[in-house]
Amino acid sequence: MDDKYPYNEQIELFSTSNGLYIIDSPMRIKILNLLREKERKFDEIVVLSGKAKSTVSEHLKRLSEEGVIASRPDPDDARKKIFSIKSEYLGELSREKLFKEDLEKYIHSYLESDGSPFEFFRLLFQTIRVSLVGQGISIDPILHEAGVKVGETLYPSLKDNQDQQFLENIARFWQTHQLGGVEVKSIEPLVINVYDCFECKGLPYLGKTACAFDTGLLKALFSAHYQKPKEVTETKCYATGDDYCSFTIE
């Protein structure tokens, strides 16, 4: 990344059939954010973007040519199109480079520990992540999707028709695999706290929650358990200065 990008300007990454696509246009980012919510008609995009039809049309054409979005005829008017995302959102970039000193401190903290294999793998995972964050690269969407896939694979070994037993199975799995200590804080709404979280404990202060993998994992587990889509929101995190992570399942 060179100096053509203004400091701290938002840049987003998408994976297309043609490879990695970097989007640094605020207008195209706005259009893609709209389409990530749901597919939209051309006129709807024009209204929500606040730009002229010719401007929106040019950006949509560029995104279509690059394989980032797709379109289909509008059933109400074949002369018009409905647009949707056809690529995978990977994350965002920033010009900010923080965390160098924090990363060095984190590596030294491992060297001062008992040197267990588990702590080494934690070091490996978090060093890669912090290095990317330090370069302004967020991989949260990738981690979230990875968590969902792991959760879908893991569910059969944890499932139980009884809520209480299912929660106990989750807590036992977290403990035996050294992912952290699980505490069910409340049932309505369902809130789960995780102490000594594998994913984020030891990370430098990021100012935002960091457990994208765990969020995806819990989403898959509880969606399968209740047999309907569930949303998981992380409200507390070590990366935001809290003493534990907290997840609300809705």
Q: Which two tokens stand for residue 49?
A: 């973007």
pLDDT-above-70 percentage for the chain: 82
pLDDT attached to residue 208: 83
pLDDT attached to residue 112: 65
For every one of its 250 residues, what pLDDT tens digit does the chain have, with 9 covering 90 and above? 333 333 335 678 788 777 777 787 889 989 998 998 899 999 999 999 999 999 999 999 989 988 889 999 989 888 889 999 888 877 776 544 445 555 566 566 656 666 667 667 777 777 777 777 666 677 888 889 999 999 999 999 999 999 999 999 999 999 998 899 999 999 999 999 999 998 988 777 777 898 999 999 999 999 999 999 999 999 999 988 899 999 999 9
pLDDT attached to residue 158: 96
pLDDT attached to residue 48: 94
Closest C-alpha to 20, from 85, 115, 104, 91: 91
Measured on CA atoms in the order 240, 241, 245, 250, is the torsion positive or negative? Answer: negative
Task: Tell me the whole-structure pTM to 2 decimals.
Answer: 0.62
pLDDT attached to residue 78: 84
Topology adopted by domain 141-249:
Muramoyl-pentapeptide Carboxypeptidase; domain 2 (3.30.1380)
43 backbone dihedrals φ, ψ, rounded to 5° = -60, -35
What CATH number belongs to 11-91? Answer: 1.10.10.10
Q: What are the boundaries of each domain within the chain?
A: 11-91, 97-137, 141-249
Residue 112, exposed/middle/buried by CB under 10 A (0-12, 13-18, 19+)? exposed
Query: Cα–Cα–Cα angle for 92, 72, 27, nearest 5°?
Result: 35
pLDDT attached to residue 104: 62
pLDDT attached to residue 161: 94
- Beta strand pairing call for 40-41 and 245-249: unpaired
Closest C-alpha to 60, from 72, 71, 76, 48: 71
Q: Which two tokens stand for residue 92?
A: 């965002």
Closest C-alpha to 71, from 62, 86, 81: 81
pLDDT attached to residue 17: 75
pLDDT attached to residue 3: 36
Contact between residue 124 and residue 72 where contact means Cβ atoms under 8 Å apart: no
pLDDT attached to residue 6: 36
Residues 6 or more apart whose Cβ sits within 8 Å of residue 142: 90, 91
CA-CA distance, 96 to 61, in Å (whole number)? 31
CA-CA distance, 23 to 63, in Å (whole number)? 9
